Amino acid sequence: MRPTRLLLPVLLLLAIVFGVRHLLQPGLAAPDWIAAEVNGMAYDVRLPAAPVPGRRYPVVLYLHQLAMGTDRATLHTQIDPWFDSAAFARHPAIVVVPRLDQSHDPGGRLVNFGGKRTGGADEVNAIDALRAVVTRFPADLTRIYVTGNSMGGMGTWDMMLSYNAWTGTRGRIFAAGLPLAGAHRTADPDDAAARLRGVPIWAIHGARDPEVSLDWDRAMAKRLQGQPNFRYTEDPALAHDVWDTWYRRPEVWDWLFAQRAPAPAHFPSG
């Protein structure tokens, strides 16, 4: 990881070049990331290591698991090895990470990214953060993706229903979704499968997961069986934590970054 004092001038120069006045200084806990805020929600942005002038980059919206967004240092201790991995580095990209403060809601009952029985308002904030980033940085608007683990996996499923680029009910943004150890607690599987038919999704779940039931992923796999753009991987060797294995595998990122939306992203008005 590059020293903060050497990286700071580069990040500030990029902010000036791209006109990003709302971005804050990198923090010591995560010097490769730029901290920002929207609607009172903090989020982090990571740019390609060596951006090429005139080139537009794919964007990954990452949704964290329960309680990980409250402390920035803890979050980046977990996620930085994934985004520093050789598997991810094959695909220079912009990464956006909303950080939910769940200190007063440790179970995530109200503060979450959607897909649970209650709460989910922060899904809108996450979309607003994404909108801010793609507006100010050179983003490829046909290659915007969403992924997340556990609570973030639930949010990924919910965002794919609401914002996938083909049939999204609230916007047409995401070219593909990658939910890990996720589920959806309120959507009807038959309706969801009908809406997601033909939409690129790769769901990954540990066969021995004791925390998030496999029922939703299995139901979607059954209903979307044979769809060329849908994949379901149930890892027999893993329990709840599938991310430290699968986020380091090149085939996951190769698949995700190969997906492309039929048209540039269309965000909801607001």
Tokens encoding 98: 């909303």
Q: How far apart are CA 105 and CA 232, in angstroms?
A: 31
Q: How confident is the model at residue 266 (pLDDT cuts 50, 70, 90)?
A: very high
Taking Cα atoms as reference points, which of 16, 36, 60 lies closest to residue 132?
Answer: 36
Per-residue model confidence (pLDDT) at position 246: 98
Strand ranges, E, within 213-269 = 230-235
Per-residue model confidence (pLDDT) at position 12: 41
Taking residues 68-79, report their average pLDDT: 96
Q: What is the number of helices (H) and of strands (E) in the chain?
A: 9, 8
Per-residue model confidence (pLDDT) at position 25: 43
Tokens encoding 145: 């993706």
Q: How far apart are CA 90 and CA 87, in angstroms?
A: 6
Tell me the three state secondary structure of residue 213: coil
For 133-196, the DSSP string reads: HHHHTTEEEEEEEEEEETHHHHHHHHHHHHHBTTT-SS-B-BSEEEEES---SSS-HHHHHHHH
Q: How confident is the model at residue 116 (pLDDT cuts 50, 70, 90)?
A: very high
Q: What is the pLDDT of residues 7-65, one digit of tens each?
A: 444 444 444 344 443 444 444 455 689 999 999 999 999 999 889 999 999 999 999 99
Average pLDDT, the chain: 91
Taking residues 146-152, report their average pLDDT: 98
Q: How far apart are CA 157 and CA 182, in angstroms?
A: 7
Q: What is the pLDDT of residues 167-213, one digit of tens each?
A: 999 999 999 999 999 999 999 999 999 999 999 999 999 999 999 99
- Where do the domains of the chain lie? 4-258
Per-residue model confidence (pLDDT) at position 50: 87
pLDDT above 60 (res 240): yes
Q: How confident is the model at residue 120 (pLDDT cuts 50, 70, 90)?
A: confident
Residues paired with 99 in a beta bridge: 42
Per-residue model confidence (pLDDT) at position 119: 87
Task: Give the CATH H-level superfamily of domain 4-258.
Answer: Alpha/Beta hydrolase fold, catalytic domain (3.40.50.1820)
Taking residues 107-135, report their average pLDDT: 95
Per-residue model confidence (pLDDT) at position 30: 58
For the chain, give percent helix, strand, coil, nearest 5.
35, 20, 45
Tokens encoding 185: 């607690």
Per-residue model confidence (pLDDT) at position 22: 41
Per-residue model confidence (pLDDT) at position 232: 98
Long-range interactions of 170-173: CB distance < 8 A, separation 24+: 170/268, 171/127, 171/265, 171/266, 171/267, 171/268, 172/261, 172/263, 172/265, 172/266, 173/127, 173/130, 173/144, 173/261, 173/265, 173/266, 173/267
